[in-house]
């Protein structure tokens, strides 16, 4: 596998030279952040980003994300133009030598948490999700600020979006996703870009909005929409793992053996109640997920793609973008690489016997 690290560009408090010093990290996961959703990404901007990362001794391994416009998710008139722009962006990325794109199909809100700075027992701060708190939130109040979604939405914009989504149930959202997939994947296949859909986070409906990429049955249905390696998954242990019914090692072995995992997000979470969880350190004993078994499953299916330590705690007094501090994610990267090395040597020793 290739160990990668998320970087949010020049405004990121974490610098490329710092990432370069994390043992085993060779790739960067990033995006173009100043192009409005739905517009084509200029080739020049992509090349500039790639060259900046390569000048720091790293590679631009994954684009995360090329956002999908709400008109596409809603199936509104005009979606074809946004899909055309998306295809042009894929062609530009391929021309610049980028081979993997991560995206999601979550209506309005991306990954969602109820608190950014919850203090854990050890004094570190983490992102948490408490179902009862989220149920009391009013997304149309104009005051809602949640991590993981576009805060540029005005109150009026959100009200219109919620009215539009009032007629979109899970099956309608599946129809709209299928329309997008069947239009985009032939382009991805043509230019050689692997697509990786991120699971819904958390993997259940929020604010009355449908969410569909949430469990094994949904993942299986999704890969069946376009049966080709370009139509794959970003298997996120923290997102899917928020539902205890999702068996992460089994999912990795099933979809990994079928060649359907194009990107891996590795992080741990601790279940604190029904549909409630805290983000934790990557260590298996720190949370509810068996990270050692998750890495073993990746090793068992000979996973050779990019992995990134996903969200981390804020530790040692660090401040910055919640969930994306340097220190805890760096610890996670080293922890994951250490397990991978041990499993690789274990396999080599067994093969000699």
Active site residues: 198, 236, 265, 310-311, 324
Average confidence (pLDDT) over 104-131: 94
Q: Any alpha helices (H) in the chain, and if so which ranges?
A: 16-20, 43-55, 70-74, 79-95, 131-136, 155-165, 170-191, 216-223, 237-241, 248-257, 291-300, 326-352
18 touches 56 (CB < 8 A) = no
Distance CA 52, CA 16 (A): 9
Half-sphere exposure of 74 (CA within 13 A, CB side): 17
Please state, in angstroms and rounded to a whole number, the distance separating the CA atoms of residues 311 and 313.
7
What's the mean per-residue pLDDT of the chain? 94
- Main-chain dihedrals φ then ψ at residue 83, nearest 5 degrees: -65, -40
Alpha-carbon distance 349 to 335, whole Å?
Answer: 21
Which residues have a Cβ under 8 Å from the Cβ of 122 and sit 6 or more positions away? none
Strand, helix or coil for residue 260: coil
d(CA 130, CA 127): 10
d(CA 189, CA 212): 24
Q: What one-character DSSP code corresponds to residue 265?
A: E
Number of folded domains that form the chain: 1
Nearest of 279, 299, 275 to residue 347 by alpha carbon: 299
What's the pLDDT at 106? 96
Q: What letter does residue 69 receive in the DSSP assignment?
A: P
Quote the pLDDT of residue 89. Answer: 98
156-199, pLDDT tens digit by residue?
A: 888 899 999 999 999 999 999 999 999 999 999 999 999 999 99
Judged against a pLDDT cut of 70, whether residue 126 lies above it is answered with yes
For the record, the structure tokens of 178 come out as 């299928």
Q: What is the pLDDT of residue 347?
A: 86
Tens-place pLDDT, residues 10-52: 999 999 999 999 999 999 999 999 999 999 999 999 999 999 9
Beta sheet of 115-119, edge-to-edge order: 115-119, 125-129, 276-279, 269-273
- Model's pTM, two decimal places? 0.94
* CATH number of the domain where residue 205 is located: 3.20.20.150
Q: Kindly tell me if the per-residue pLDDT of 325 is higher than 60.
A: yes
Question: Domain limits at 132?
Answer: 2-352
pLDDT-based confidence at residue 149 (cuts at 50, 70, 90):
low
Indicate if the pLDDT at residue 286 is higher than 70: yes
Contact indicator for 297, 255 with CB cutoff of 8 Å = no
Q: Provide the token pair at 288.
A: 């509810």
- The pLDDT-based confidence of 152 (bands split at 50, 70, 90) is low
What's the mean pLDDT in 323-328?
96
């Amino acid at each position: 596998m290739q160990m990668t690290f998320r970087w949010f560009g020049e405004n990121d408090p974490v610098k490329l030279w710092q990432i370069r010093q994390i043992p085993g990290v060779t790739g960067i996961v990033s995006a173009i952040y100043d192009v409005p959703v739905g517009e084509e990404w200029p080739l020049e901007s992509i090349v500039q980003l790639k060259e900046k990362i390569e000048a720091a001794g790293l590679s631009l391994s994954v684009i995360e994300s090329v956002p999908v416009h709400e008109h596409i998710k809603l199936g509104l008139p005009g979606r074809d133009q946004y899909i055309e722009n998306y295809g042009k962006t894929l062609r530009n990325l391929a021309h610049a030598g980028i081979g993997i794109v991560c995206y999601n199909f979550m209506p309005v809100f991306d990954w969602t948490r109820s608190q950014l700075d919850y203090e854990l027992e050890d004094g570190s701060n983490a992102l948490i999700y408490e179902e009862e708190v989220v149920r009391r939130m009013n997304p149309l109040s104009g005051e809602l600020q949640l991590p993981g979604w576009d805060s540029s939405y005005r109150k009026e914009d959100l009200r219109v979006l919620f009215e539009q989504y009032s007629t979109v149930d899970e099956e309608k959202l599946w129809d709209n996703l299928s329309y997008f997939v069947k239009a985009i994947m032939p382009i991805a296949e043509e230019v050689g870009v692997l697509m990786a859909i991120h699971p819904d986070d958390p993997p259940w409906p929020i604010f009355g909005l449908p969410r569909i990429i949430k469990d094994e049955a949904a993942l299986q249905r999704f890969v069946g929409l376009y049966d080709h390696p370009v139509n794959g998954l970003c298997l996120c242990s923290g997102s899917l793992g928020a539902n205890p019914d999702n068996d992460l090692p089994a999912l990795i072995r099933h979809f990994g053996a079928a060649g359907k995992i194009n990107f891996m997000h590795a992080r741990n979470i601790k279940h604190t109640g029904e549909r409630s969880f805290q983000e934790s350190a990557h260590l298996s004993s720190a949370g509810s997920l068996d990270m050692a078994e998750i890495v073993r499953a990746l090793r068992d299916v000979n996973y050779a793609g990019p992995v990134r330590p996903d969200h981390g705690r804020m530790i040692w007094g660090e401040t910055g973008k919640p969930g994306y501090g340097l220190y805890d994610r760096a610890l996670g990267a080293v922890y994951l690489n250490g397990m991978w090395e041990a499993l690789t040597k274990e396999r080599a020793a067994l093969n000699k016997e």
